[in-house]
Amino acid sequence: KPRIFSGIQPSGGLTLGNYLGALKRFVEKQDEGIETIYCLVDLHAITVWQDPERLRQQTREGAAAFIAAGIDPKRSILFNQSQVTAHAELGWIFNCIARMGWMSRMTQFKDKAGKNSENVSLGLFAYPSLMAADILAYHATMVPVGDDQKQHLELCRDIAIKFNNDYKVDFFPVVEPLIEGAATRVMSLRDGTKKMSKSDPSDQSRINLTDDADMIAQKIRKAKTDPEPLPETLEGLKDRPEAKNLVNIYAALAGMTPEAVVAEYAGAQFGTFKPKLAELSVAKLSPITTEMNRLMKDPAEIDRILGQGAERADAIAQPILAQVKDIVGMIRSR
């Protein structure tokens, strides 16, 4: 029986990129009736410094965003990672399976560490092996993510295969990334070569789920573009990363293909297209923002939902972790 796992870091407020590349698709998968487990990955978030009070706030806000976007905590399991200890425990075992060389080829690590890799946390380096543990602790086989996580999912496969080979078992399944739709990689509004990220220092680079209508309109109006009008066909967006990004965002929000968007706006100037995009963004995001704000008035209720989700997640992960310990040769006598 297929099982889906995915997560989002409470490392800041959620962005339009997180919504289109991940959250919106989490909801679609839930609504298809697949067993879905979704997680606010706070252990991942602290691989870079997080102020404790803000981490708590961002975790609750993330949970509120999930629910506001359509995650039903009865149908999906929704929790924060640190409440289920199997993640950290299996993550350690995978640290002993994964190779330094594999990890050092991860582009997310290279991007986040920058030139100063001597001074980043060891956790940032080990991030992908914890991510493999997140997924494999549930024997999940399908993982909806944005395009930037493809390499980490390949590494997750490598870890599963090496574990199975090293211990001569057929225990961990092969994991499939689900990277689908028109917005698998939403780009920064300021730089068409960089992905939109919640941790980008520039707030102008992204649309946050908490931005109001004026802010969204202002950010889209100021978004970097070239001076050309929209082309007649998709071909004409080649080598125009900023223009392509706005078309892809429009397509994903409208539930259209990028081809259909280009056909509709062929020859239009950005002065025409941008206000339409802003209007569409506000129409799609403002109901989520309103519901998030309502949910955030009752943080105790959010914590209760996360706790109940964690209990259900734990009930799936513990027996799997127990089997892993048996396979590895660890005594379990209590």
Q: What is the DSSP string of 204-273?
A: GG--BTT--HHHHHHHHHHS---SSPP-SSGGGGTT-HHHHHHHHHHHHHHT--HHHHHHHHTT--HHHH
Does 205 engage in binding with ligand ATP (CB under 6 A)? Answer: no
Q: What are 274's two structure tokens?
A: 């941008």
Q: Could you tell me if 315 and 84 are in contact, meaning their C-beta atoms sit under 8 angstroms apart? A: no
Among all residues, whose Cβ is closest to ligand ATP?
21
One-letter amino acid for residue 131 of the chain = M
Q: Which of helix, strand or coil describes residue 15?
A: strand
Selected from 198, 219, 244, 274, the binder of ligand ATP by CB under 6 A is 198
Q: For residue 186, state whether it binds ligand ATP (rule: CB under 6 A).
A: yes
In the shown chain, the binding pattern of residues 22 to 61 toward ligand ATP, with x for contact by CB under 6 A and - for none, equals x---------------------------------------
Buried b (16+ CB within 10 A) or exposed e, 24-40: bbbbbbbeeeebbbbbb
| Residue 79: HSE in the Cβ half-sphere, 13 Å Cα cutoff | 21
Q: Is 9 in the site for ligand ATP (CB under 6 A)?
A: yes
Biggest alpha carbon–alpha carbon distance for the chain: 71
Hey, what are 120's tokens?
Answer: 């980043």
> Which range binds ligand ATP by CB under 6 A, 114-122, 197-205, 254-262, 265-273?
197-205
Interface residue with ligand ATP, options 11, 59, 225, 281 (CB under 6 A) = 11
Q: C-beta of 150: minimal distance to ligand ATP in Å?
A: 9
The whole-angstrom separation of Cα 175 and Cα 245 is 29
- The single-letter code of the amino acid at 273 is F
Q: Which of residues 132-151 bind ligand ATP (CB under 6 A)?
A: 145-146, 148-149
Q: CB of 66: closest distance to ligand ATP in angstroms?
A: 12
Query: What residues act catalytically?
Result: 112, 195, 198
- Tell me the site size for ligand ATP, rule CB under 6 A: 22
The three-point CA angle 231-232-233 to 5° equals 95
Under the binding rule (CB under 6 A), the answer on residue 177 touching ligand ATP is no
Residues in contact with ligand ATP, shown as a per-residue x/- string from 243 to 282 under the rule CB under 6 A: ----------------------------------------
Binding residue (CB under 6 A) for ligand ATP from 60, 195, 244, 274: 195
Q: Does 21 bind ligand ATP (CB under 6 A)?
A: yes
Binding site for ligand ATP (CB under 6 A): 8-9, 11-12, 15, 17-18, 20-22, 145-146, 148-149, 184-186, 195-199
